[in-house]
Structure 1
Amino acid sequence: MKKKLLFSLLAVFILFLGACGESDETEEVEDQVWADIQEAGEIVVGTAGTLFPASYYPEDSDELTGYNVEVFREIASRLDLDIKFEEMAYDAMLSALKSGRVDIIQAGPREESREIFAFSDPVKHSYVTMIVRSDDLSGIETLEDLEGKVAGGAATTVYSDIARKYGAEVKTYGNVTNDAYLRDVANGNTDLVINDYYLQSLALTAFPELDIQLHPDIKVHPTTNNVVMKKEATVLLEKVNEVIAEMKEDGTLSEISAEFFGGLDVSKEPDEEIIEIDGIE
């Protein structure tokens, strides 16, 4: 009788172990993205390589750096992975992610993109402002004054959506450096550039010779930057969120931010009073 009971208990124990193994294996199979990354030992990242201070090459250097880049490097390191960067224009990044050319990018979540992609917890908080000519603010006092103006920007960003919402024409660019946008405002080829507050503030310091400035009164649309991956990458998303939480807890995100944003901490929500724009995600 005792032998029979012992055999039964052993059988149950073996079945339990088998069930655990199946659960782990199912989790891995459900996230083929993570399984492929683990097999390769490398995570492939889509980034611009032309946008100071997010993703750029310092003068006289062939080493890619920037806030986005160093956040990616830290995530890869904590996941015990090598990292490879693929440089491309912003408008190409979501397509590259969807096709599997890259594993992750950084972008802000939007309703339609949330249906296709998964977004991590934020690694950056900011809001939207605009660069205009210093002498007359490009004739812009309120958002309604964008009617008939020309805004430089990428075609598929929330910044261009804001420009179009208020009647501006959007002049699109390829994967160009910041100075192309800024010089066009200064010489009158465009009237403004709508973009992230922190990025634009630092871009201005790099080109003091240009007669342009941040608009003093327009602060709208709070934004976040998140790590983006395929919707089905459930295990990868969980692991990236765990790493981001660790980086916030131990101060790493704040340290990286201070390095690239003049001592400011973009990993925390700004204290500014920011106006929401109806109809803009």
Structure 2
Amino acid sequence: MKKRLLVLCSILFVLVLSACGSSESENADQASEDNVWESIQDSGKITVGTSGTLYPASYYPEGSDEITGYDVEVVKEIAKRLDLEVEFKTSDFNNMLASVQNGRVDMAANDIGVTEERKDKFTYSEPYKYSYTTMIVRKNDLSGIHSLEDLKGKKAGGEATTGYSDIAEELGAEVVAYGNTTNDVYLGDVDNGRTDLIINDYYLQSLALQAFPDLNITIHPDFKFDETANAAIMPKEATELKKQADKVLAEMREDGTLTKLSEEFFGGADVSKQPEDDIPTIEEVLEQQREENK
């Protein structure tokens, strides 16, 4: 009888410890999840990573030390509606993402594409920009690119580890990596032959061409693929920050603020809405080319 009581007490003791451990673990997870938002609330400020060199998403107008751009103004409006100050810290793309992970910034906003790979490491806000992928080439000869297979051996300008550089590498191009460089350097290198192409967002490339009309560059007429969504990126555990940002973004979409900001920075285009055209995936474009070459 005593032995049975001892065994029963031992089982109950283990169950109590397990329950306590589970509760403590859940509390620890909750504390971790809330830490980013609590820290922002305590300081009254949100710190945001961006490049300051990517027109029109994030840039400094000539002669100004005040950063602006579509992503920048979206974040400023989010901060304003959450009654927060906002501080921008500029860096190249790699350091931007590292700063989100190590807590140096609370989020990053810089025309950042939503990808499944990044979802494993980060939390995204709801998208506030939609577009698709195109490529800039030399105007006089399309940089010798008449099919996607022609990218093999070509030099593609871009920042290392971006989705666009990954596409270039998958298609056999050699990525010429730049740091936190302004558009004129990228575009000028296609013009002068140091590189052959730039794979990037359609709207960004369209505006870049308008800004540098004297360069021998154009958007390739035959290729548009992979519809994209862009959003702010946050630490994986920042669930409450995401919740707060998404709530404000929904309000901004509903009251027309996103449309207004988009039209201001994208020449009247509303990038806050998904493209109406049916944009093929890169796999579909490649399959079509294989069929045509049979």
TM range (shorter): 0.7 to 0.9
Judged with a 3 Å threshold, the aligned counterparts in structure 2 of structure 1 residues 129 and 38 are, in CA distance, closer, same or farther, namely: same
Judged with a 3 Å threshold, the aligned counterparts in structure 2 of structure 1 residues 29 and 163 are, in CA distance, closer, same or farther, namely: closer
Given that 1:45 and 1:84 are in contact with CA atoms closer than 8 Å, whether structure 2 keeps it comes out as yes
Secondary structure in 2 matching 1:266 = coil
Structure 2 stretches lacking a partner, 5+ long: 1-28, 285-294
- Listed one character per residue, the Cα deviations across residues 81-136 of structure 1 (whole Å, up to 9, x for unaligned) are 00000000112111010000110113222222211111111010000001000001
Are residues 1:84 and 2:98 paired? no
Given that 2:32 and 2:237 are in contact with CA atoms closer than 8 Å, whether structure 1 keeps it comes out as no
| One-letter amino acid matched to 2:232 | V
Q: Offset of 1:27 from its aligned partner?
A: 6.0
Given that 2:154 and 2:196 are in contact with CA atoms closer than 8 Å, whether structure 1 keeps it comes out as yes
Q: Offset of 1:29 from its aligned partner?
A: 6.2
Are residues 1:34 and 2:1 paired? no
The aligned counterpart of 1:194 is 199
Q: Offset of 1:174 from its aligned partner?
A: 0.6
Are residues 1:169 and 2:174 paired? yes
| One-letter amino acid matched to 1:80 | D
The aligned counterpart of 2:68 is 65
What TM-score does the superposition give when structure 2 sets the normalisation length?
0.84
Q: Offset of 1:28 from its aligned partner?
A: 6.5
Taking the aligned partners of 2:118 and 2:215, their CA distance within structure 1 comes to: 36
The aligned counterpart of 2:8 is none
Are residues 1:150 and 2:141 paired? no
Given that 1:28 and 1:235 are in contact with CA atoms closer than 8 Å, whether structure 2 keeps it comes out as no
Pairs aligned (count): 257
Q: Offset of 1:274 from its aligned partner?
A: 1.4
The aligned counterpart of 2:130 is 125
- Listed one character per residue, the Cα deviations across residues 197-249 of structure 1 (whole Å, up to 9, x for unaligned) are 00010011111110101111100111111111111111111111111110000
| One-letter amino acid matched to 2:223 | I
Given that 2:191 and 2:217 are in contact with CA atoms closer than 8 Å, whether structure 1 keeps it comes out as yes
Are residues 1:274 and 2:279 paired? yes
| One-letter amino acid matched to 1:263 | G
What TM-score does the superposition give when structure 1 sets the normalisation length?
0.88
The aligned counterpart of 2:100 is 97
- Listed one character per residue, the Cα deviations across residues 239-272 of structure 1 (whole Å, up to 9, x for unaligned) are 1111111000000000000000000000000122
Structure 1 stretches lacking a partner, 5+ long: 1-25
Percent sequence identity is 59
Judged with a 3 Å threshold, the aligned counterparts in structure 2 of structure 1 residues 52 and 30 are, in CA distance, closer, same or farther, namely: closer
The aligned counterpart of 1:43 is 46
Given that 1:27 and 1:235 are in contact with CA atoms closer than 8 Å, whether structure 2 keeps it comes out as no
Secondary structure in 2 matching 1:171 = strand
Q: Offset of 1:36 from its aligned partner?
A: 0.3
The aligned counterpart of 1:134 is 139
Given that 1:28 and 1:35 are in contact with CA atoms closer than 8 Å, whether structure 2 keeps it comes out as no
Are residues 1:160 and 2:165 paired? yes
